[in-house]
């Protein structure tokens, strides 16, 4: 059984809104709902754990009930850091789950292909994360902003989510991080902390984390493009149907 945990208990400080960014509207619905609808369309995932801030949990539970076709979903309370939120989610995954995906609620543009890439690789390697090659040159700098060195770009990848793991491995990594007071910036770093290999799989440049208002502009553009191509394909099938109709009528008049 595959369970997806969605940390959604942040404050969204960099977004600069007066509320948690996962509730910000993107096209026709809040970011969190986009994310859950995308995962609900993936038949490989069985159920969800959504991690919400204490003061938002009740509202989130109500909203989830209203999403048509959503997978079975539990809501749990998050912590002060993303890692603590994921830990709380992990403590309440169903006993039958053997693979856990962790996906930022703030990444609404996730595609089924990327989810599948991660799941396929978890089955082989136990730890797999979606990522994309870095396109800019990255510099390491010191405290005075002087460049120390330039790592070879071919070795640099930008981490995304989903990050997927066998449940036992992820539990072990989270417990070890807790007892070592180790705080990582993603789930994979906890696996690295216990010296288990982590495999990278191809993510998607569109699978951005909505962090600041500019990200919303990008996301709106992507969704707008999808909507346009949907209308176009509906339009072209309507045109070709009409054309067929016309041909049949012409044929009949000739006969």
Among residues 199 and 209, whose Cβ is nearest to ligand CTP?
A: 209
Total binding residues toward Mg ion, as defined by CB under 5 A: 1
The residue number with the shortest CB distance to ligand CTP is: 10
Q: Closest separation between CB of residue 158 and ligand CTP, Å?
A: 14
**Alpha carbon distance 32, 108 (integer Å):** 7
Beta-carbon contacts of 216 under 8 Å, excluding residues fewer than 6 positions away, are 24, 26, 210
| Three-state secondary structure call for residue 20 | coil
The values of phi and psi at residue 91, to 5°, are: -70, -15
Which residue, judged by CB position, is nearest to Mg ion in the bound state?
A: 10
Which 156-195 positions form the footprint of Mg ion (CB under 5 A)? Answer: none
Nearest alpha carbon to residue 86 among 160, 171, 205, 200:
171
Is 44:115 a contact under the CB 8 Å cutoff? yes
Residue from 134, 200, 209, 222 touching ligand CTP (CB under 6 A): that is 209
Which element (helix H / strand E) includes 228?
helix 213-254
- Lay out the site mask for Mg ion across 9-28 (x = CB under 5 A, - = otherwise): -x------------------
Q: Mark residues 43-82: x for contact with ligand CTP by CB under 6 A, - for none.
A: --------x--------------------------xxxxx
4 vs 48: CA distance, rounded Å: 5
Task: Give 215 or 239: the residue with its C-beta nearer to ligand CTP.
Answer: 215
Whichever of 30 and 78 has its CB closer to Mg ion, that residue is: 78
Does position 177 bind ligand CTP by CB under 6 A? no
Instruction: Give the C-alpha separation, 22 to 52, whole Å.
Output: 10
Question: Is there binding between residue 7 and ligand CTP (CB under 6 A)?
Answer: yes
Nearer to ligand CTP, 195 or 215 (CB): 215
Do 210 and 17 touch, CB atoms closer than 8 A? no
Does the footprint of ligand CTP cover residue 118 (CB under 6 A)?
no
Quick check: bond before 106 cis, omega within 30? Answer: no
Chain residues binding ligand CTP by CB under 6 A are 7-14, 21-22, 51, 78-82, 85, 104-106, 209, 211
Chain residues binding Mg ion by CB under 5 A are 10
């Amino acid at each position: 059984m595959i369970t997806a945990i969605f940390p959604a208990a942040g404050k969204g400080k960099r977004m600069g809104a007066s509320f948690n960014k996962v509730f910000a509207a993107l096209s026709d619905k809040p970011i969190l709902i986009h994310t859950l609808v995308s995962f609900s369309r993936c038949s490989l995932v069985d159920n969800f754990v959504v991690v919400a801030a204490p003061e938002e949990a009740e509202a989130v539970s109500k909203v989830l009930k209203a999403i048509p076709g959503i997978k079975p979903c539990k809501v749990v309370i998050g912590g002060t850091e993303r890692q603590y939120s994921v830990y709380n989610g992990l403590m309440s995954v169903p006993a039958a789950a053997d693979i856990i995906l962790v996906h930022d609620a703030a990444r609404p543009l996730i595609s089924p292909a990327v989810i599948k890439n991660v799941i396929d690789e978890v089955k082989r390697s136990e730890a797999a994360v979606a990522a994309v090659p870095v396109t800019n040159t990255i510099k390491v700098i010191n405290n005075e902003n002087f460049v120390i060195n330039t790592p070879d770009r071919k070795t640099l990848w930008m981490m995304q989510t989903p990050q997927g793991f066998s449940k036992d491995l992820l539990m072990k990594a989270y417990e070890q991080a807790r007892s070592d007071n180790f705080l990582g910036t993603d789930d994979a770093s906890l696996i690295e902390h216990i010296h288990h290999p982590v495999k990278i799989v191809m993510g998607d440049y569109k699978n951005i984390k909505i962090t600041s208002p500019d990200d919303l502009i990008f996301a709106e553009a992507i969704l707008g493009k999808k909507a346009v191509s949907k209308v176009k394909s509906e339009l072209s099938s309507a045109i070709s149907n009409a054309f067929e109709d016309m041909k049949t009528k012409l044929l009949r008049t000739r006969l």
